[in-house]
């Protein structure tokens, strides 16, 4: 008997490859193990969408931060767009920036740069108006940190010595 | 003889004789013979129903008739009769009455029939034709006679019963002349039987017979009551009017009679309600409409509902009726009830009654959806493992499309359409020229989705006028609309996952659009029911994603097929698993995972890698329990067959691939299990699938191999159920353990098969299989049994002489 496969209509389930790096750093607690595939902002699965989207995947992609925390791009963008975020990762409170060299981040870099710029400028204006030197200094720090992202040449030296409370 | 007479009579006779000799001396003997001739008790020497002889005639003339004759000549004046003659006549009359009474009471107990009394009366009246005793006092005799009748009726129960029976027979036999005699008798007797009462009773019986004959099983007439009434009146009314002694235009009475016809009609239709509502529907529509006109009393309705439910329970709500047929019957019932009672009040009790039962039938919603979607000859049923009679399903679909019930055209149903959907409908109707503008499901879904479930704790409310239709009632069968929608989604999921390529047919895709639209609207419209709204929007969202995934897969597949390295026979679908009700991680699930053949695994892996490149950051996992493989098996004898199977089934059969050399490969269960990395039980199930397809068989060494070479043998066996035993036993019973299992299992299923055949006569394998599937308790594990297995069990029963095979290959019980 000869068996000839004519056609295979196969079904694949796709999922995001989530970096577990952050957890390896010991940041994750045991009790959040179940939530490893959940966006820290909207609590929805990475493989689902943020609350504002209908279609997962291309239309509601993920980004990964330098701190190795992943989020729905819409979620983290919306978060960073608030003043209360102070530009920090909501999970680890480190300044959030897209991790370099990852294909999934590539298409979002410009957008995040613009956001960062807008926020620091706003803060600088505020500080100037209030004559708050200290705040201004802090903004300057952030700005230089932002430049670190913006810098297409990859001037990573700026990243050192950045202290954020 | 005279010594037996009572004293009174003796005195009376003495008086008669005294007056007789006074009037006509020397005629004592003649007078005595006259008395004897008259006397009904002198059975041997009286008249004996013969006219008097000459001498007696003269005596009669002299003693009894002369006075009248002479007086008649005297212009009817009786003044001429002298006192003694008169006296004698009076005494003779007393004598005769005395004797008649004596005779009557003597015979009283022997008078049992109307004929008896008729004969007796003739006997008593015969002498009076010759002896004019009552000529002047005719009343007196009639009163006497009627008194006797009266007494007879009141005291002789046997006679009374007989008479009643006689009258009944006469009237039932349309012998109205004789009936008239009986009635006359009754009327004159004025006894315990009132002819009018009896007549009316009999007329009612006659009407009920007449109605049975003219109404039963006749469902196509619109005015059957009137027609039947008219023909009855035409045929019988003149007689009854005569018997009742009423004018033929007694409208009061004819109205009452007409009402009787209505009552009879109701009675008959209640008795026949199951036939009328289900078996004969829609031909019975005229009669249902007539029932609607005639039925007014709640009691009648109640009785009708009761009768219907008990018949429905016995005939439909039993496991031997397939769900399609049960649903079909139910749909017809709904229509019939709504036709009868558009308020839906009585239907409600039917719905409540039937609901629980239907909810037990899990395939119901699928069948209903199938019928609604009008998915003809779709392949989905193979995958949900249901034995469905497609012809019956088609009938059901047509039944649902009944324009009378307003579910097809949403335009007629009233303008409660959203603007958005309206344009969608217009588009769809303009897209196709001609009358087939509206697919059934559009209206149907519209109804479904605007349907609001009844609050479960409240008493059933009457059907709202605007919601009164078939589909509302059908949806009522389900606990909730969410249930219906989620079942729809399940169906859609199955459909998409087993879809070849990426295109849904027209019915599906339009239906989906509508569903999506409606879900969206509903979701936003129901702020009060947050959980419902959430569930609905989730449903709607899932649906959107599933469709989008399918579309994206198509695009991606096109791109991938451009890549030379990828096998173009593979048509991948990439699903967002969370939206398909799936878990991602099944690696540890031994019921799903298995090892693919190297080649296929390799080809699929290449797709996986390409996907990763095209979609950075993402990975793929093959859903081994999903998808369809189309494969072709060719045997050495040139026999080629195509199969659509699961990946698992494809992998299993590939193990038997003899390659170019077309070798014949034999594998043990263990080998298959090891090669596929699955448990033996699971391996056996997969192999059983191929055995069921007559592709594989198990030989005496417990090895599985292809059936080629056995082809003809096998095919022949496949065609005649009763011959399969050797082959199937080969595969099923070779092991001793197997044999024991088989025995045990056959013992378990035998009572069901026996009961089924006892109830339903002879059945073919397919039918038995289908019925067992739905009737056997789940824990018996019948779902593991294939058609072929059943055949071998049946042939075992044949061997055991429990069953016989008929020439049309159906099985029947022996004895
Ligand atoms: Zn999120
Ligand atoms: Zn989003
Ligand atoms: Zn972080």
Query: Are the C-beta atoms of residues B433 and B469 closer than 8 Å to each other?
Result: no
What count of other Cβ atoms lies within 10 Å of the Cβ of residue B783? 11
Are B678 and B554 within one domain?
Answer: no
Q: CB-based contact (8 Å) between B504 and chain A?
A: no
Residue B430 lies inside a defined structural domain of this protein: no
Are B470 and B498 within one domain?
Answer: no
DSSP-derived secondary structure letter, B61: I
Are B51 and B82 within one domain?
Answer: yes
| Cβ within 8 Å, pair B617-A10 | no
Q: CB-based contact (8 Å) between B376 and chain A?
A: no
Residue B214 lies inside a defined structural domain of this protein: no
Window B:692-751, CB contacts with A under 8 Å: 695, 706, 708
Are B609 and B509 within one domain?
Answer: yes
Are B514 and B659 within one domain?
Answer: no
Q: Taking 80 as the threshold, does the pLDDT of residue B33 lie above it? A: yes
Residue B244 lies inside a defined structural domain of this protein: no
For chain A, percent helix, then strand, then coil, each to nearest 5? Answer: 40, 15, 40
Residue B228 lies inside a defined structural domain of this protein: no
Q: What is the pLDDT along chain A (165 residues), one digit of tens a residue?
A: 889 999 999 999 999 988 654 444 444 444 444 456 899 999 999 999 999 999 999 999 999 999 999 999 999 999 999 888 888 999 999 999 999 888 889 899 999 988 888 888 887 787 777 777 777 777 666 655 544 444 443 333 333 333 332
Q: Taking 80 as the threshold, does the pLDDT of residue B437 lie above it? A: no
Q: How far apart are CA B433 and CA B428, in angstroms?
A: 10
The DSSP annotation for B636-698 comes to TTS-EEEEEE-HHHHHHHHTT--TTTT---EEEHHHHHHHHT--HHHHHHHHHHHHHTTSEEE
User: Cα–chain-centroid distance for residue B488?
Assistant: 31
Q: What is the ipTM of this complex?
A: 0.80
Closest ligand, as measured to the CA of A46: 1
Peptide linkage before B585 cis (omega within 30 of 0)? no
Handedness of CA B411, B413, B415, B418 (dihedral sign): negative
| Cβ within 8 Å, pair B576-A47 | yes
Q: Taking 50 as the threshold, does the pLDDT of residue B106 lie above it? A: yes
Are B391 and B279 within one domain?
Answer: yes
| End position of a domain, from candidates B579, B594, B619 | B619
In terms of CA atoms, which chain A residue is nearest residue B575?
A13
Residue B598 lies inside a defined structural domain of this protein: yes
Are B758 and B659 within one domain?
Answer: no
Q: Look up the domain containing B559 and give its range.
A: 480-619
User: Cα–chain-centroid distance for residue B42?
Assistant: 69
| End position of a domain, from candidates B574, B602, B619 | B619
Show the tokens assigned to B396. Answer: 């059901």
Q: How far apart are CA B381 and CA B182, in angstroms?
A: 73
Pairing of strands B573-576, B640-645: unpaired
In terms of CA atoms, which chain B residue is nearest residue A107?
B616
Residue B506 lies inside a defined structural domain of this protein: yes
Are B535 and B400 within one domain?
Answer: no
Write down the domain spans for chain A. Answer: 62-140
Greater pLDDT, B714 or B258: B258
Are B491 and B635 within one domain?
Answer: no
Residue among A21, A47, A34, A39 nearest A102 (CA)? A21
User: Mean pLDDT throughout B777-784?
Assistant: 73
Question: What percentage of residues in chain B have a pLDDT greater than 90?
Answer: 27
Q: How far apart are CA B616 and CA A18, in angstroms?
A: 12
pLDDT band at B796 (very low <50, low <70, confident <90, very high): confident
User: Mean pLDDT throughout B127-136?
Assistant: 84
Are B747 and B600 within one domain?
Answer: no
Residue among B372, B451, B446 nearest B411 (CA)? B446
Q: CB-based contact (8 Å) between A163 and chain B?
A: no
Q: How far is the CA of A53 from the centre of ligand 1 (A)?
A: 10
At residue B233, the pLDDT reads 92
At residue B464, the pLDDT reads 41
Residue among A69, A62, A64, A61 nearest A27 (CA)? A69
Are B698 and B638 within one domain?
Answer: yes
pLDDT band at B15 (very low <50, low <70, confident <90, very high): confident
Partner residue opposite B616 with nearest CB, options A2, A48, A103: A103
Q: How far apart are CA B566 and CA B607, in angstroms?
A: 7
At residue B518, the pLDDT reads 57
At residue A162, the pLDDT reads 33
Residue B185 lies inside a defined structural domain of this protein: no
Q: CB-based contact (8 Å) between A1 and chain B?
A: yes
| Cβ within 8 Å, pair B623-A2 | no
Are B652 and B792 within one domain?
Answer: no
Partner residue opposite B575 with nearest CB, options A2, A11, A48: A11
Q: Taking 70 as the threshold, does the pLDDT of residue B528 lie above it? A: no
| Cβ within 8 Å, pair A2-B615 | no
Handedness of CA B350, B354, B359, B362 (dihedral sign): negative
Residue B586 lies inside a defined structural domain of this protein: yes
Task: Find the Cα–Cα–Cα–Cα dihedral A66, A71, A72, A78, rounded to 10°.
Answer: -80
Q: Which of B242-256, B440-454, B782-796 has the lowest mean pLDDT?
A: B440-454
Cβ-Cβ contacts under 8 Å for B136 (sequence gap 6 or more): B68, B78, B89
Q: CB-based contact (8 Å) between B614 and chain A?
A: no
Q: How far is CA B190 from CA B153, B154, B197, in A?
A: 9, 10, 12
Partner residue opposite A11 with nearest CB, options B552, B623, B656: B623
| End position of a domain, from candidates B133, B163, B193 | B163
CATH code of residue B706: 1.10.10.10
């Amino acid at each position: 008997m000869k068996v000839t496969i004519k056609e295979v209509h196969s079904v694949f389930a796709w999922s995001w490859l989530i970096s577990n790096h952050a957890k390896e750093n010991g940041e994750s607690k045991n009790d959040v193990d179940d939530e490893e595939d959940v966006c820290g902002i909207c609590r929805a699965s990475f493989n689902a969408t943020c609350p504002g989207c209908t279609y997962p995947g291309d239309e509601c992609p993920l980004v990964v931060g330098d701190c190795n925390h992943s989020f729905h791009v819409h979620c983290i963008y919306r978060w960073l767009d608030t003043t209360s975020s102070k530009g920090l990762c909501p999970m680890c409170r480190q300044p959030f920036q897209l991790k370099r060299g990852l294909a999934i981040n590539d298409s979002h870099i410009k957008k995040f740069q613009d956001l960062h710029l807008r926020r620091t400028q706003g803060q600088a204006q505020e500080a100037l108006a209030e004559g708050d030197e200290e705040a201004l200094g802090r903004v300057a720090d952030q700005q230089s940190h932002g430049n670190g992202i913006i810098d297409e040449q990859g001037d990573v030296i700026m990243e050192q010595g950045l202290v954020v409370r | 003889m005279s010594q037996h007479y009572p004293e009174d009579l003796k005195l009376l006779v003495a008086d008669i004789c005294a007056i007789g000799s006074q009037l006509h001396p020397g005629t004592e003997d003649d007078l005595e013979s006259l008395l004897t001739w008259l006397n009904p008790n002198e059975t041997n020497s009286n008249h004996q129903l013969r006219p008097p002889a000459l001498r007696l005639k003269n005596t009669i003339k002299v003693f009894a008739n002369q006075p009248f004759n002479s007086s008649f000549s005297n212009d009817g004046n009786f003044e001429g009769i002298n006192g003694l003659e008169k006296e004698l006549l009076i005494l003779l009359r007393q004598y005769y009455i005395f004797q008649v009474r004596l005779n009557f009471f003597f015979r009283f107990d022997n008078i049992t029939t109307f004929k008896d009394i008729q004969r007796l009366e003739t006997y008593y009246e015969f002498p009076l034709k010759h002896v004019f005793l009552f000529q002047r006092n005719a009343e007196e005799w009639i009163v006497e006679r009627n008194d006797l009748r009266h007494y007879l009726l009141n005291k002789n129960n046997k006679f009374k019963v007989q008479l009643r029976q006689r009258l009944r027979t006469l009237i039932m036999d349309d012998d109205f002349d004789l009936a008239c005699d009986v009635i006359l008798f009754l009327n004159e007797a004025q006894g315990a039987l009132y002819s009018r009462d009896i007549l009316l009773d009999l007329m009612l019986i006659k009407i009920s017979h007449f109605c049975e004959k003219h109404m039963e099983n006749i469902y196509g007439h619109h005015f059957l009551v009137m027609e039947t009434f008219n023909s009855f009146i035409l045929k019988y009314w003149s007689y009854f009017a005569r018997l009742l002694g009423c004018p033929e235009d007694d409208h009061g009475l004819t109205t009452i009679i007409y009402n009787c016809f209505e009552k009879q009609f109701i009675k008959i239709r209640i008795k026949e309600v199951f036939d009328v509502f289900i078996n004969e529907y829609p031909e019975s529509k005229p009669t249902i409409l007539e029932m609607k006109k005639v039925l007014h009393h709640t009691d009648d309705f109640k009785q009708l509902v009761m009768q219907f439910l008990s018949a429905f329970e016995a005939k439909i709500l039993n496991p031997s009726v397939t769900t399609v047929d049960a649903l079909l019957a139910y749909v017809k019932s709904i229509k019939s009830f709504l036709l009868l009672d558009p308020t839906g009040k009585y239907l409600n009790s039917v719905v409540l009654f039937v609901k629980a039962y239907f909810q037990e039938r899990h395939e119901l919603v699928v069948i209903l959806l199938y019928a609604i979607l009008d998915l003809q000859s779709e392949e989905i049923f193979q995958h949900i493992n249901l034995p469905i009679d497609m012809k019956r399903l088609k009938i059901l679909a047509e039944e649902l499309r009944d324009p009378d019930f307003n579910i097809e055209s949403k335009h007629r149903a009233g303008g409660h359409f959203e603007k958005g959907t309206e344009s969608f409908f217009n588009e769809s109707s303009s897209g196709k020229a001609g009358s087939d503008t509206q697919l059934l499901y559009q209206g149907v879904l519209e109804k479904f989705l605007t349907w609001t479930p009844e609050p479960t704790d409240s008493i059933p409310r009457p059907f709202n006028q605007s919601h009164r239709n078939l589909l509302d009632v059908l949806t009522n069968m389900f606990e909730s609309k969410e249930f219906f929608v989620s079942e729809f989604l399940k169906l859609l999921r199955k459909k998409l996952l087993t879809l070849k390529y990426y295109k849904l047919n027209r019915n599906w895709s339009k239906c989906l659009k509508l569903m999506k639209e409606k879900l969206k609207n509903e979701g936003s419209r129901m702020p009060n029911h947050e959980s419902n709204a959430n569930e609905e929007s989730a449903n709607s969202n899932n649906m959107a994603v599933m469709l989008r995934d399918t579309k994206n897969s198509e695009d991606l597949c096109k791109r991938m097929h451009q890549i030379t390295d990828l096998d173009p026979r593979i048509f991948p679908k990439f699903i967002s698993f969370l939206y398909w009700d799936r878990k991602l991680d099944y690696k540890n699930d031994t019921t799903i995972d298995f090892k693919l053949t190297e080649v296929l695994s390799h080809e699929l892996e290449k797709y996986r890698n390409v996907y990763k490149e095209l979609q950075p950051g993402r990975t793929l996992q093959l859903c081994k329990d999903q998808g369809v493989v189309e494969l072709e098996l060719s045997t050495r004898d040139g026999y080629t067959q195509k199969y659509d199977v699961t990946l698992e089934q494809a992998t299993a059969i590939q193990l038997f691939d003899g390659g170019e050399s077309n070798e014949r490969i034999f594998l043990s269960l263990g080998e298959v299990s090891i090669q596929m990395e699955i448990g033996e039980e699971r391996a056996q199930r997969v192999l059983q699938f191929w055995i069921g397809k007559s592709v594989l068989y198990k030989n005496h060494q417990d090895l599985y191999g292809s059936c080629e070479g056995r082809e003809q043998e096998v095919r022949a066996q496949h065609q005649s159920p009763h011959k399969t035993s050797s082959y199937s036993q080969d595969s099923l019973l070779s092991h001793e353990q197997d044999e024991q299992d088989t025995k045990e299992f056959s013992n378990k299923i035998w009572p069901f098969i026996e009961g089924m055949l006892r109830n339903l006569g002879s059945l073919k394998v397919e039918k038995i299989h289908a019925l067992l599937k739905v009737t056997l308790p789940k824990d018996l594990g019948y779902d593991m049994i294939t058609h072929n297995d059943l055949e071998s069990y049946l042939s075992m029963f044949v061997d055991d002489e429990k069953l016989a095979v008929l020439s049309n290959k159906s099985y029947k019980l022996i004895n």
